[in-house]
Amino acid sequence: MPRLDTPAIALFSLACGVLLGACATPIGYASGTSATERDSLHRSTVAPAVDMEAPFIAHTVETDIAVPPDRLLPWLVNVPLERILLGTEKLAGIERTDVLSPSWGGPGARRRVVLRDGNTSLEELLLVEEGQRFRYVVWNFTNEARRAVQYAVGEFNFTPTSTGTHLRWTYRFRGNGWPTEGILKDFVEEDFAGYMKVGMEHIKAESTLDLAARSN
């Protein structure tokens, strides 16, 4: 997940330190932890228990892509994130991902997402429904996001059309509540909305480049 960077970050940090107790050192980054120990902790730590009925702050972007769902979904699950999530002027893009499970692509698969600014988070696939949708949870942020976010849930939905797929991407953020809720809402509706818009443009361009010619 990108860096939370707004003019209100100083107040954000103060509220966190004084009121929330939500800024504990992320798992795997305590002083003296080796890279091997960090990998072990990142593999074994339990993912958040996602409650889809809980209150979320969400944003959705949509587009049409000239590739059928049964080809687009596996491509999107497996494409290197650094090809499609390049970031914006405000939010860092993806540098790489480190797979932490034996493989990547099915429910329970886990990886560490490394941003270009050096921050990281953990990501785990929650469900993959062939040709229809996939969902994942992101947590253990090392950046300012941890001050306001318990976890985030991303979901892609694939609807067949006469020309390919209508793709819908939703990100839901489970916040820590007052006093950071308003700042998180502004961030999602402004900076992160822009990040998703740019990301979806790259998804369309890269998937079309890789798959459209073979789909015709």
Q: Where are the domains of the chain?
A: 9-215
- C-beta separation of 74 from 180 below 8 A: no
Nearest-CA neighbor of 141 among 14, 34, 16? 16
Does residue 185 surpass a pLDDT of 60?
yes
pTM: 0.89
Does residue 21 surpass a pLDDT of 70?
no
* Rounded distance between C-alpha atoms, residue 16 and residue 13, angstroms: 5
Does residue 3 surpass a pLDDT of 70?
no
Reported confidence tier of residue 213, pLDDT bands at 50, 70, 90: low
Higher per-residue confidence, 180 vs 6: 180
- pLDDT confidence of residue 214: 64
Task: Return the H-helix or E-strand segment holding 61.
Answer: strand 57-65
- pLDDT confidence of residue 216: 53
Nearest-CA neighbor of 129 among 111, 107, 154? 107
Give me the residue label for tokens 């970050």.
9
- pLDDT confidence of residue 112: 98
Does residue 13 surpass a pLDDT of 70?
no
Mean pLDDT of 2-6: 51
- pLDDT confidence of residue 60: 98
3-class secondary-structure state, position 65: strand
Q: What is the DSSP letter of 180?
A: T
Q: Over the chain, what is the mean pLDDT?
A: 90
Structure token digits, residue 55: 């209150």
* pLDDT tens digits, one per residue of 53-70: 999 999 999 999 999 999
Residues of the chain above pLDDT 70, percent: 88
- pLDDT confidence of residue 147: 85
Does residue 20 surpass a pLDDT of 90?
no
Q: What is the DSSP letter of 126?
A: E
- How many CA atoms does the CB half-sphere of 40 hold within 13 Å? 5
Q: What angle do CA 133, 136, 137 make, to 5 degrees?
A: 155
* pLDDT tens digits, one per residue of 90-133: 999 999 999 999 999 999 999 999 999 999 999 999 999 999 99
Q: Does the structural domain 9-215 have CATH classification 3.30.530.20?
A: yes
* pLDDT tens digits, one per residue of 74-88: 999 999 999 999 999
